[in-house]
Amino acid sequence: MKKTIILTIAALMTVSAVTSVASTVTSAESSVLTDKKPAKKKGEIKEVTFNVHLHCENCVKKVQENIAFEKGVKDLHVCLEDQTVSLKYDAAKTSEETLKAAIEKLGYPVSGKREGGHSHGHNN
């Protein structure tokens, strides 16, 4: 009789230990799932075309190499012939004012905006 009671207690302890481990694993999995950062919400993609005083192909290259890497810039077209810099940008990450300031910081005066985007679609 003692042997049966001891085996029953041992069996209950084993089941209890397995249940405890299973709930610990489930809790760990749950915390891993809830600790994930939510995907960042993308902002509205906006377009702007600035009238920019560009002198030569080196000006175009300088703007392309610097402004393309500004935070939030999705697309960039620089046209020497039209004297324009057209941008598509994530409005949640940057603004027209910030982009204008970045172009002017390179030494190129911005004399306003052009409505309707860029006309040629050139990258130069």
**Residue 103 lies in domain:** 45-114
Residues 13 and 67 in one domain: no
pLDDT confidence tier of residue 19, bands split at 50, 70 and 90? low
Residues 62 and 98 in one domain: yes
- Average pLDDT over the chain, rounded to whole? 80
Q: Decide: residue 96, CB within 10 A, 0-12 exposed, 13-18 middle, 19+ buried.
A: middle
What does the pLDDT look like over 56-114, one tens digit per residue? Answer: 999 999 999 999 999 999 999 999 999 999 999 999 999 999 999 999 999 999 999 98
Where residue 69 sits, what CATH number does that domain have?
Answer: 3.30.70.100
